[in-house]
């Protein structure tokens, strides 16, 4: 009896334990929103001209538990382009199509230590693509999406990401037009990879599909459901549909943990202790395996390209809700965030 009691307590406190009760989750989501709302650090991305006009004060947080319950606060229904957050989900679709072993062999799963759109990373590493979450690997991933034409591949991506979100997603045409005008660097990376025989479809066609996938419009609510699908081993907790298998889900999370937050992926894992992926439009998805998915949206970014308010809110919720994969102590419910256990 004594042992059983001790192990129950331990289970609640550990990463494999349960989430707090719904009232507590709601309170922490509201608190994280209130605490981070007045942080005015960071700059809205402008290298894609269409992003530069996004209001800097937009801020939304949504946590979707694997039981399908949703807790949200702020601008949760404002659409924005998914950008790099599409990358892990397209990688998941490719793992389903070619198997995670072949996907890893062709694309790699290690960090580059270089910026996400680095051409030097392709030249420096003999493998050419290092992982599916920086542009070279992500563009190569898109080239592996099944389909003989741009349209076939695009439909598979759009339908696949829609299944993760549990609704029919659409393109943000304005962002697509703006990014298509300014994506010469990505086109260059696609041609360079083709030159190394590491791209598996026509370079311009691949760049077209890649640019469209980055221009899919999502809300922070969608991001939370997409993340919760990975948290639930590939099953969308709202629609109940299996989108990818559990083995794929697990590998996608591993890649997110090592390379999801640009050159700050190590810092992120150190502080937040969860797989995450951010995008230049200001979104972040974070996955707590077996527990739920967190989406945040706030456009101002730090110099690595990660949303300032989003990182802060996620760090806070990881501690308060006991999500950190590496924590062995009880969650910090009201304690000092600067001294996490
Ligand atoms: N579409 C953007 C690019 O490829 C995505 C960048 C990002 O969100 O990191 O430049």
Distance 280 CA to ligand 1 centre (A): 6
Measure the CA–CA gap between 110 and 265, rounded to whole angstroms: 11
Alpha carbon nearest to ligand 1 atom 2, residue: 83
The pTM score is: 0.92
Distance 156 CA to ligand 1 centre (A): 20
- pLDDT, the chain, mean: 91
Beta-strand relationship, 60-65 and 80-81: unpaired
Distance 7 CA to ligand 1 centre (A): 45
Task: Report the nearest atom of ligand 1 relative to the CA of 116.
Answer: 9
Distance 59 CA to ligand 1 centre (A): 20
Alpha carbon nearest to ligand 1 atom 7, residue: 84
Measure the CA–CA gap between 186 and 198, rounded to whole angstroms: 15
pLDDT on residue 123: 83
Task: Report the nearest atom of ligand 1 relative to the CA of 84.
Answer: 8
Distance 178 CA to ligand 1 centre (A): 12
pLDDT on residue 17: 74
* pLDDT surpassing 90 at residue 119: no
Burial (CB < 10 A; 0-12, 13-18, 19+), residue 240, is exposed
Counting ligand 1 atoms within 8 A of each CB, the residue from 46, 48, 265 with the most, and so the one to mutate, is 48
pLDDT on residue 9: 37
Would you put residue 260 in left (φ > 0), alpha (ψ -120 to 50) or beta? alpha
Instruction: Give the residue from 309, 332, 242 showing the smallest Cα distance to 20.
Output: 332
Q: Which domains does the chain have, with CATH numbers?
A: 22-320 (3.40.710.10)
Measure the CA–CA gap between 55 and 57, rounded to whole angstroms: 6
| Confidence category of residue 79, pLDDT binned at 50, 70, 90 | very high
Distance 84 CA to ligand 1 centre (A): 5
Distance 186 CA to ligand 1 centre (A): 9
Burial (CB < 10 A; 0-12, 13-18, 19+), residue 14, is middle
* 178-187: b (≥16 Cβ within 10 Å) or e: bbeeebeebb
Counting ligand 1 atoms within 8 A of each CB, the residue from 132, 138, 214 with the most, and so the one to mutate, is 214
Task: Report the nearest atom of ligand 1 relative to the CA of 215.
Answer: 1
| Element spanning 8, H or E | helix 2-13
Distance 262 CA to ligand 1 centre (A): 11
Measure the CA–CA gap between 244 and 222, rounded to whole angstroms: 17
Instruction: Give the residue from 42, 51, 38, 49 showing the smallest Cα distance to 280.
Output: 51
215 Cβ contact list (under 8 Å, min separation 6): 81, 82, 171, 172, 173, 175, 176, 179
- Token output for 24: 């507590």
| pLDDT tens-place string over residues 224-249 | 999 999 999 999 999 999 999 999 99
Do the beta carbons of residue 94 and residue 103 sit within 8 Å? yes
Do the beta carbons of residue 205 and residue 150 sit within 8 Å? yes
* pLDDT surpassing 50 at residue 259: yes
Task: Report the nearest atom of ligand 1 relative to the CA of 185.
Answer: 10
Distance 126 CA to ligand 1 centre (A): 23
Measure the CA–CA gap between 2 and 311, rounded to whole angstroms: 40
Task: Report the nearest atom of ligand 1 relative to the CA of 186.
Answer: 4
pLDDT on residue 336: 59
Measure the CA–CA gap between 340 and 32, rounded to whole angstroms: 16
Task: Report the nearest atom of ligand 1 relative to the CA of 262.
Answer: 9
- Token output for 278: 């951010």
Q: What percent of the chain has pLDDT over 90?
A: 82
Task: Report the nearest atom of ligand 1 relative to the CA of 280.
Answer: 8
**Side-chain half-sphere of 225: how many Cα atoms within 13 Å?**
26
| pLDDT tens-place string over residues 282-340 | 999 999 999 999 999 999 999 999 999 999 999 999 999 999 999 876 666 555 565 54
Alpha carbon nearest to ligand 1 atom 4, residue: 135
Q: Which residues lie across from 301 on neighbouring strands?
A: 43, 307
Q: Which residues line ligand 1 (CB under 6 A)?
A: 83-84, 116-117, 135, 179, 186, 214, 279-280, 305
> In this predicted structure, which of 139-148, 214-223, 263-272, 287-296 has the lowest mean pLDDT?
263-272
Alpha carbon nearest to ligand 1 atom 6, residue: 84
């Amino acid at each position: 009896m004594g042992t059983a009691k001790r192990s129950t307590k331990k289970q609640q406190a550990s990463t494999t334990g349960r989430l707090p009760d719904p009232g507590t989750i709601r309170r922490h989501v509201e608190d994280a929103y209130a605490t981070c709302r007045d942080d005015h650090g960071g700059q809205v991305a402008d290298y894609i001209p269409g992003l530069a006009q996004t209001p800097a004060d937009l801020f939304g947080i949504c946590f979707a538990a694997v039981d399908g319950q949703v807790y949200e606060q702020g601008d949760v229904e404002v659409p924005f382009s998914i950008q790099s957050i599409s990358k892990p989900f397209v990688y998941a679709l490719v793992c389903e199509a070619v198997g995670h072993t072949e996907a890893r062999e062709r694309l790699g799963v290690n960090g580059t230590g270089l910026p996400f759109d680095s051409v030097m990373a392709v030249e420096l590493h003999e493998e050419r693509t290092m992982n599916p979450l920086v542009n070279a690997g992500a563009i190569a991933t898109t080239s592996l999406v099944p389909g003989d034409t741009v349209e076939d591949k695009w439909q598979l991506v759009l339908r696949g990401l829609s299944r993760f979100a549990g609704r029919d997603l659409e393109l943000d045409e304005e962002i697509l037009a703006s990014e298509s005008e300014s994506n010469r660097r990505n086109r260059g990376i696609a041609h360079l990879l083709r030159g190394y025989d590491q791209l598996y479809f026509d370079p311009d066609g691949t760049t077209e599909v890649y640019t469209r996938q980055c221009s899919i419009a999502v809300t922070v609510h969608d991001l939370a459901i997409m993340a919760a699908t990975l948290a639930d081993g590939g099953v969308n907790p709202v629609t109940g549909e299996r989108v990818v298998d559990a083995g794929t889900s697990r590998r996608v999370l591993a890649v997110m943990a090592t390379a999801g937050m640009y050159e700050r992926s190590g810092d992120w894992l150190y502080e937040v202790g969860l797989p995450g992926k951010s995008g230049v439009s200001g979104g972040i998805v974070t996955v707590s395996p077996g527990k739920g998915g967190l989406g945040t949206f706030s456009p101002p970014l730090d110099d690595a390209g990660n949303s300032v308010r989003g990182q802060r809110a996620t760090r806070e919720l990881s501690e308060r809700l006991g999500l950190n994969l590496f924590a062995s102590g009880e969650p910090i419910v009201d304690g000092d965030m600067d001294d996490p256990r």
